[in-house]
Amino acid sequence: MHIVDGALSNPVVIGGAVAAAGGIAVGLKSLDIDRIPTAGVLSASFFVASLIHVPIGPSSVHLILNGLAGLLLGWAAFPALFVGLLLQAVFFGFGGLTVLGVNAFNIAMPAVLAWMIFGRLIGRGSPVQGAIWGGLGGAFAIAATTLFVAVSLALTGDEFLPAAMLVFFAHIPVMVIEAVLTGFAVLLARKVKPELFLKGSSA
């Protein structure tokens, strides 16, 4: 899901950087001190999960867990996921520094959208109902991320359209896996520490 350096046009790179900076600013403003440990754990989880790549055809896929980050953190998912992406770019060369803004926006904005759509539903009803909404939020975040990546590639040039389509279809299994993982994580959190989602829904 990482777009590499040199793949995008300058306007797309600049636009992504500006959008990511705006999201990070809003996220830092909404990140109260009580949720900093949660943000740190989710940033580390994203960092580790997305290091494990599974080859599919000419590309590869990996878990992202941005849906879970969004459901728990709201706008604060932006700085949490940005830190993970920055460390990956610096230490492992995933993505790159020039496209860091685009990658951060493509991954964090769907997380925020998942929170906006599903966040308030998770705290209602039984823990199982919350887990179902959480699973849908996890799958939605992956689907939206593939769409954002596809749009970034398509805005750069028509020659990237086949790659954009491949990104979506290659990540369908990831959507299913992330839905299951996010659903179980929400189920556990609803039973053990339900206030996490109450805070996430009011960020």
Q: Is the pLDDT of residue 131 over 50?
A: yes
pLDDT for 18-33, tens place per residue?
999 999 999 999 998 8
Q: Is the pLDDT of residue 16 over 60?
A: yes
Place of tokens 């849906």: 67
- In the structure encoding, which two tokens stand for residue 15, read together? 């636009």
Q: What is the pLDDT of residue 34?
A: 85
Q: Is the pLDDT of residue 57 over 60?
A: no
Q: What is the pLDDT of the chain when averaged over all its residues?
A: 86
pLDDT for 92-126, tens place per residue?
877 788 999 999 999 999 999 999 999 989 988 88
CB 4 within 8 A of CB 96: yes
Burial (Cβ within 10 Å: 0-12, 13-18, ≥19) of residue 169 = exposed
Q: How many CA atoms are closer than 13 Å to the CA of 161, on its beta-carbon side?
A: 3
Domain assignment present for 190: yes
CA 141 to mean position of chain CA atoms: 6
What is the band of 203 on the pLDDT scale with cuts at 50, 70, 90? very low
- CA gap 76, 124 in Å, rounded: 22
pLDDT > 90 fraction of the chain, expressed in percent and rounded? 51
Q: What is the pLDDT of residue 59?
A: 52
Domain assignment present for 1: no
Domain assignment present for 150: yes
**Domain residue limits at 125:** 10-200
- Domain harbouring 137, CATH code: 1.10.1760.20
Domain assignment present for 62: yes
Q: Is the pLDDT of residue 60 over 60?
A: no
Q: What is the pLDDT of residue 123?
A: 82
Domain assignment present for 105: yes
49-58 contacts at long range (C-beta below 8 A, 24 or more positions apart): 50/1, 50/2, 50/84, 50/88, 50/94, 51/88, 51/92, 51/94, 56/170, 57/166, 57/170, 58/166
Domain assignment present for 2: no
Counted domains in the chain: 1
CB 95 within 8 A of CB 168: no
Domain assignment present for 4: no
Reported pTM:
0.86
Domain assignment present for 48: yes
Q: What is the pLDDT of residue 54?
A: 60
